Amino acid sequence: CRLCKVDAHALYTRIASLAPAERLNALCNANWKLPKSSKGLEHLLHDPKEGDFWQADHITAVAEGGGGCSLENLRTLCGPCHAQETEKLRRRLKL
């Protein structure tokens, strides 16, 4: 993650290799921000996907003119940081 510096791909690989019963403990030990909904947590523990751990993010948001930019406008963020950045954008746009 470009913001918090967690290696989200390595974390995903580690979590995917564990049994579902071991995943919650490993995520907590990694200080991973868990989903708020029980459905989201259940998905993360029983069927984790790489997209649950990292996403591509526009540095300058599409809604703020960053849609036609090159790869220099992209960064990878872990899921929790991407959610935080999206919330900041919603507040700026008052959505």
DSSP labels, 27-74:
HHHTT----SSHHHHHHHHHS--GGGTEEEEESS-GGGTTTT--GGGE
* Torsion sign (Cα): 56, 53, 9, 5: positive
Task: Write the pLDDT tens digit of every residue in 42-92.
Answer: 999 999 999 999 999 999 999 998 888 889 999 999 999 999 999 999 999
Task: Write the pLDDT tens digit of every residue in 17-37.
Answer: 999 999 999 999 999 999 999
Which of 42, 35, 50 lies closest to 83 in space, CA to CA? 35
- The pTM score is 0.85
Strand partners, 55: 77
